Amino acid sequence: MGHLRYSRGRLALIAVALVSLAVFVAVCWSDLADLTSQLTDRLSGGQWALLGAASVVQLAGHVLRAARTKVVVDKVRVGSLAGQFRHLAIGYLFNLIVPLRVGEVVRSYLIAKTLRISFLYTLLAVVLERLIDVVLVSFAFLVVLAFVGGPVSGAVPVTAAVALVVALVAIAAFVAFVRENRLLMRLAWRASSWFNTDLENRARFKLWSVIFGFQRFVRERRMLARYGALALASWLCYVAAAAMVAATVISTLGDRDGALATAAPPVAVSSGVGNGAPGSYIDDIGGFLQGSTDLTATDVATFAAAIWVVTNVPVVLVAVVAVFVNWARRISDPVSGAELAPSDRYVNKLGREEDISGAMTHFLDTYFRRQHLSQVMHRLEVDGNVSLVRFFKGGSNAVTLLATNGAGELFVKKMVPLEHAHRLKNQHTWLAERVDHRQLVTVLREQTAPDHYSIDLEYRPSSVPLFEYVHENSLAESQAKLAEVWEYMYDHVYSVEAVEHRPDVRDDYVAERFVLRVRAAAQSHPALAEALKGDRIVVNGRELDNFERVLERIYATSMAWHDIALFQPSANIHGDLTVDNILVDLPTRDVLVIDPSDDNQLRGPVIDFARHMQSLAYGYEFLNEDEEPVVLDARDGIPEITYRDARSARYAELAEYVTTEIMPRRLLPAEQRAVLFHVGLFYGRMLTHRVAINSGTVLKYYAVCIQALNRFVEQYDTLAHGPSDETLGGEPREEEVLTR
């Protein structure tokens, strides 16, 4: 037979427990000797047997308490009652020998470690359990004093009343936090923001886990009823054990004295914060009983000594055995060398097989700031309908997340508030009509709820963002992927019609989607309002025309204003063809287009090219990832914006490729020139949303908008002013009609 081997953690637990117990016995040796002498001199063999029976009842109360804790913990991961009882006994051992109820922390740690679940959730479950005990016992004790009689002055009733109030306030605060009280959530968000990014994520994830776990628990009324029944049953055992001890060791015991004797020990056990040193414990009970009963000093001393023995000795003996023997049902480890599937990794948010807080950064930030869709996602998670795997930052009113339904299916979920449901509904319809396109993401289902609308899309784990692909592969391969995207769009999506000149569409589009939105954003963002002042602005060291002035130049340059209204319409476009919305499926090397947003008044391929150049020419994806501060200053009275332009050299190469190779074959010269205007418009129209989701990026987006608009109008400095030479009488010349 092999030798029994313990882990380092178990050896440390054994050593600390035994050494601490030895120190406790040495320090309290005199009190223990007096206690033993008191009992051996006064009790007969039959009385010792009755004390043994009371000890069994007391241990039965502990088993019921362990079962009570198990009700809360099992909602996270099911363990054994024997394991819970083992941890409870070890906790009582440390409560006895160490002040300030350190045993509750030890017990919580052992439960969390054994079951691999959240320590904070387990600790708060134990703390809440103890607070409920204080409420039950303090209230019952005050009732006994009111109806049976006892000291109406002195520290005991005041202590019980204070303990009751403090416990109720603490429980109320905890309930308010779990119910997502706005003030407490804001405080949690602010307090966690003091840490570095990693600690901030971990702190928020732990706090959210507590809210998530307890909200799931309280939804189960049967579990709540079971928890309450076990709490009452455990205390009935404790009270019964105290009554048995009183009846055993006190020779003459009336009803009133018996009630007070029975009430005294639970109060001392439940509300005390010190350790279980027998001298002070016996003095506390003795002082109360001698001042409120007719019992003799000898009876009181014997009772106090006996109740200390019944309360502590049996559970300590169990704990000493428990530190050597693991009674907990073992949780099997993942297969060696195998990674957990995402569905296993994220379904149980209170499990602690690995740290997943980094994948939930944006969700945690928006959740504690009480953003609506994050609250919706939280509720879906609590209800068990969906489990969040990853939360993506969005550039619109929608949020996008990777989720699992617990059945092993991973899918992408997009959600919008009901007031924007029509936009996402359009995306669902657009994709559903093209379900046979292998280059398009497949839409799985849609859901309409009272406070949101959502669609679920297929998730291809083998795909990577085009952003990563172009930065990890050669320029030639990257160019080929861009060409493949445009071939797909022109072969399968667009239905390009004859060139139109639509000044009415242009005017409505520019006013509603651009000018009004920039001004609306400035009303809620003081720094943007300051940047808009004046005719000129400096961006990254270059002086440019500011918003109002560059618009005036565009309006006054007839060819520029004309070009914006000239485009090849298409009944169907993608509408948001940034690099962010293109994936590459690695096994097949096929492109995969996602997130259509066909909601523009001006509808033609020029819009998709502008979205494309929003990424390649101005680094949209880099702007979103960069968290460095944007500086607003003034140079000689002119507003100045300085930000980090992190666009990569690869993006610059691809922008040149699209501009010189793809656009000339697909767009009219007027459309090619107008692309820059649309790029500036897109950055400007996003400002209202950026104010809401990340106000720190507003000035950066505005700066890019101004740069694009200036570049657009500067094109015409080398061209003849006046009506576009590409048209005659409002119709395009024959040479402008592209051959397809």
Out of 277-281, 456-460, 635-639, least confident range: 277-281
pLDDT over 70 (residue 721): no
The Cβ-side half-sphere exposure at 737, using a 13 Å CA radius, reads 8
Which band of pLDDT confidence, cut at 50, 70 and 90, is reported for residue 299? confident
Mean pLDDT of the chain: 86
- Nearest CA to 373 among 350, 347, 401? 401
Q: How confident is the model at residue 383 (pLDDT cuts 50, 70, 90)?
A: confident
Give pairs for 188-194: CB < 8 Å, separation 24+. Answer: 188/368, 189/365, 189/368, 189/369, 192/368
What angle is formed at CA 281 by the lines to CA 275 and CA 286, rounded to 5 degrees? 170
Does residue 295 register a pLDDT over 90?
no
Average pLDDT value for residue range 633-656: 92
CA-CA distance, 469 to 463, in Å (whole number)? 10
Quick check: 410 pLDDT over 60? yes
CA distance 160 to 165: 9
Comparing 717 with 132, the larger pLDDT belongs to 132
Q: Are 545 and 536 in contact (CB under 8 A)?
A: yes
- The better pLDDT of the pair 258, 366 is held by 366
The per-residue pLDDT for 516 is 93
Q: Please tell me the predicted confidence (pLDDT) of residue 268.
A: 62
> Which residue, among 410, 415, 419, has the nearest Cα to 427 in the 3D structure?
415
What architecture is the 343-459 domain classified under in CATH? 2-Layer Sandwich (3.30)
Q: Which of these ranges, 73-77, 363-367, 407-411, has the smallest mean pLDDT?
A: 407-411
Mean predicted confidence (pLDDT) in 215-234? 93
Q: What is the pLDDT of residue 4?
A: 57
Quote the tokens at residue 484. Answer: 């493949």
SS3 content of the chain, % helix, strand, coil (to 5): 65, 10, 25
* Residue-wise pLDDT tens digits, 427-475: 899 889 888 898 888 899 999 999 899 999 988 888 899 999 999 999 9
pLDDT at residue 348 above 60? yes
Q: Which of 675, 692, 695, 706 is nearest to 396 (CA)?
A: 692
Q: What is the pLDDT of residue 722?
A: 47
Whether the pLDDT of residue 333 is over 60: the answer is no
| Sequence ranges of the chain with CATH classification 3.90.1200 | 465-720
Lowest mean pLDDT, pick from 259-263, 318-322, 341-345: 341-345
Please write the tens of the pLDDT for every residue from 24-38: 899 889 988 988 998
**Polymer length of the chain:** 740
599, pLDDT greater than 90: no
Is residue 328 scored above 70 in pLDDT?
no
pLDDT of 332 > 50? The answer is: no
Q: Is residue 150 scored above 70 in pLDDT?
A: no
Q: Is the pLDDT of residue 736 over 50?
A: no
- pLDDT reported for residue 504: 92
Phi, psi of 252 (to 5 degrees): -120, 115
Asked if 567 and 606 count as a contact pair (C-beta separation under 8 A), the reply is: yes
The pLDDT-based confidence of 727 (bands split at 50, 70, 90) is very low
Q: Return the HEC string of 271-323.
A: HCCCCCCHHHHHHHHHHHHHHHCCCCHHHHHHHHHHHHHHHHHHHHHHHHHHH
How confident is residue 267, by pLDDT bands cut at 50, 70 and 90? low
Q: Average pLDDT, stretch 659-663?
A: 96
Q: What is the pLDDT of residues 175-201, one digit of tens each?
A: 999 999 999 999 999 999 898 888 898
pLDDT at 353: 66
Question: Which residue spans of the chain are classified as CATH 3.30.200.20?
Answer: 343-459
Highest mean pLDDT (candidates 219-228, 251-260, 394-403): 219-228
pLDDT in tens, 529-550: 999 998 999 999 999 999 999 9
The predicted structure's pLDDT at residue 198: 86
User: In this structure, what are the phi and psi dihedrals at residue 121, rounded to the nearest 5 degrees?
Assistant: -60, -45
Q: Does domain 465-720 have CATH number 3.90.1200?
A: yes
Q: Which of 53, 62, 36 is nearest to 244 (CA)?
A: 53
Q: Pick from 189, 184, 88, 78: which is nearest to 130 by CA?
A: 88
What average pLDDT does this structure show over 501-516? 92
- Residue 69: CB atoms within 10 Å: 24
pLDDT of residue 244: 93
Percent of the chain scored above 90 by pLDDT? 50
- The confidence score (pLDDT) of residue 106 equals 94
For the stretch 157-169, pLDDT in tens is 787 888 899 999 9
